[in-house]
Chains A and B, each alone.
Chain A
C-alpha cells in the first residue's frame, strides 16, 4: 500500500516537473553565409555563460560529415543568434546539430535541453535577408496618438463634447529612403477643427553630424581610445541632419472642395537624445530652419474669373516654412510619489504665404475668404501617468492646439483634456 502511494506520488511529481520545465529551444534558421561560417538563430535567447554546451565545439557538428566547428560566438545584442566558424564548410553538409543547449527558463533558473537541437541547413542567405526585411516592413510605425482619449474631446471653443481624429500613418513603399505619409487633423468642434489632410511620398537624405568622428572611431584599434572618442561624440548637441523632398496632396477633409498639389523641401536638424537624472529622463528636439512649399491649386471655392485671360485669385502656391519641436520624458517606476511618468511634447510650424490662398471663414463656416502672409500653428501635449501596472499605465493628458494649417487655414484654438490608458505591451517587441 505504502509502495503504491509512493509510486503514485513520484509519478505526480515527475509529471509536474515535466510540465513546469520549459520547452526546448529549436533552431529557426541555420544558413551557410560563406565558405567558413554559418549563422544559426534559435527560437529563444540562450545562456551566454562560456561553459554552456552551445559553446563547446566538440558538442556541435555538421552532418553527415561530422565536421566540428573551430569556434562558436553569440551575438551580444541578439542572444538568439550565433556565428559558427569552421575551417571549411563541406559542400555536402546538410544539417547542424547541437548536442545540448543551455537557456534561461521562465522561472529565472537556467535550463538545459533534454536532447539534441538540430536543423537542416539553408544555402540561400539572400532569401533569408529578404524575408527579414519584409518582417521589418510589417512593423507598424509609431504614431503620436496611439493612446485612447477615454473621455473624448472637450474644447474651450465649444460647450459640447465633440469627436475627432488626429492620425498619422506611414505606409512603406519598400524603396530605400522613400516613404509615404498620410496625416489627418479633423474634429467636429468649432475652433478645434484644423481641416487638414495631406498624403504623399517623401524622399529623405540623411547625414550624421561630424562624420569624421565616426570615421576615426571605425579606424581606431585601441579600445580605450575608442571609448574616449565615443564619449566625446556624445557631447555633441546635434546628432544629424536630414533633407526631405516630398510631393503631396493637401485637402480640406470635410468635403475636399479645396485641394492643392504641393512639392516641398525642408532641412531638418535633429538633436541627440540626451539623458538626465541617471537615465530616468531624456530630452530631444529638432529644428527646421527653412523649407519651401510650391504647388498648384487643384480645387477652390473662390470663384474663378469669367475672362480666361485674368488669372484666378487662388492659383499657385508658394510658401516658406520653418518649425521646431521639443520633447521631455521622465519615468520613475520605483517612486513612492503619485507621479510615475511625465511626457511633454511641443511642436510648432510657421508659414509665410507669398501668394493668395483659400481661407476658412469661422463666422460663416465657409471657405469664402482668401489670405496670404504669416500663419503659425502650435501643439503642446502634456501627459502624466499616476499608476502603472502590468496591464498598462493610467493618467491624464492635456493638449493645446492653436493656429492655422493649410489648405484652408481654419483658426484652431482648442484645449483638450482626457483620461489616458496606455497598454503596457509597447516595449521590446520583436518583429516576429
Chain B
C-alpha cells in the first residue's frame, strides 16, 4: 500500500515536472518566435556586417547593440558611416538573414539618408505579413 502511494506520488511529481517543462519550453519557443518576427536584430546584424561602428550582443535579453539609439539615426550618420552603396550591401545582407521577404527588401531605396528605425518598422510589417 505504501509502495503504491509512493509510486503514485512519484508519478504525480513526474507528470507535474514534465508539464512544467513543456510550459517553459512553449514559453521559450513563443518568445523566440516573437523576437524573430519583428526582424530588428537581423537589421542590426545586417548593418554590423557593413560597418564596425555598429556592434551587437545577442547573448543579452533583449539583445543589446551600439549605438543604443541606432533606430533614431540614418544610415549615413557618422555614427553608422554608410554610403548609398553601403545601403545596397546592407540590403543584400538582410536578404540572406530574412530570405522570406527578399522582394520587400528590394523595394527599399539605396539611400543613406533613410532613417534606420523607419526601415526596421517596414521590415517588421513585411515579416508579419509574409
Contacts and interface: CB of A to CB of B under 8 A. Distances in A.
Q: How large is the interface on A (under 10, 10 to 19, 20 to 34, 35 or more residues)?
A: 35 or more
Nearest to A432: B118
Given A77-B40, A78-B118, A282 B78 contact: yes
Which applies to chain A's interface (DSSP): helix, strand, loop or mixed?
A: mixed
A239 B49 contact: yes
B114 A78 contact: no
A233 B50 CA distance: 9
A71 B34 contact: yes
Interface string A31-42: 101100101010
Given A79-B117, A132-B121, 7 more contacts: A33-B125, A81-B117, A83-B37, A136-B119, A170-B84, A176-B107, A227-B56
Please give me the 9 A-B residue pairs with the lowest Cβ-Cβ distance, nearest first: A240-B89, A33-B128, A77-B71, A77-B120, A273-B81, A273-B51, A176-B106, A78-B117, A78-B121
A429 B89 contact: no
A207 interface: yes
24 contacts: A81-B38, A83-B38, A125-B125, A125-B128, A126-B129, A141-B84, A142-B112, A179-B110, A204-B88, A206-B88, A208-B89, A218-B97, A223-B58, A226-B58, A234-B55, A239-B86, A268-B85, A279-B53, A282-B51, A282-B53, A282-B78, A331-B78, A429-B113, A431-B114
A284 interface: yes
Nearest to A125: B129
Contacts of A75: 38, 40, 71, 117, 120-121, 124
Contact of B104 (A129, A204, A234): A129
B121 A233 contact: no
A208 B98 CA distance: 14
A37 B81 contact: no
A272 interface: yes
Nearest to B93: A208
B72 interface: yes
A78 B50 contact: no
B85 to A, nearest CB: 5
Contacts of A31: 125
B32 to A, nearest CB: 9
Interface in A116-169: 125-126, 128-129, 132-133, 135-137, 139-142
A137 B109 contact: yes
Nearest to A233: B49
A428 interface: yes
Interface of A: 31, 33-34, 37, 39, 41, 70-71, 73, 75-81, 83, 85, 125-126, 128-129, 132-133, 135-137, 139-142, 170, 172, 176-177, 179, 204, 206-208, 211, 213-215, 217-218, 223-224, 226-227, 230, 233-234, 239-240, 242, 268, 270, 272-275, 279, 282, 284, 286, 329, 331, 427-432
Given A31-B125, A139-B113, A142-B112, A73 B81 contact: no
B76 A142 contact: yes
A257 B13 CA distance: 92
Interface residues of B, number: 71
A76 B56 contact: no
Nearest to A331: B78
A213 B77 CA distance: 26
Contacts of A37: 37, 128
A305 B74 CA distance: 56
A323 to B, nearest CB: 13
A202 to B, nearest CB: 10
A427 B80 CA distance: 11
A284 B115 contact: no
B41 A76 contact: yes
Interface in B27-77: 30, 34-35, 37-38, 40-41, 43-45, 48-53, 55-59, 62-63, 65, 69-74, 76-77
Nearest to B35: A73
Nearest to A72: B34
A190 to B, nearest CB: 33
Nearest to B30: A71
Contacts of A234: 48-49, 52, 55
Given A427-B77, A429-B74, A208 B92 contact: yes
Contacts of B111: 136, 139, 141-142
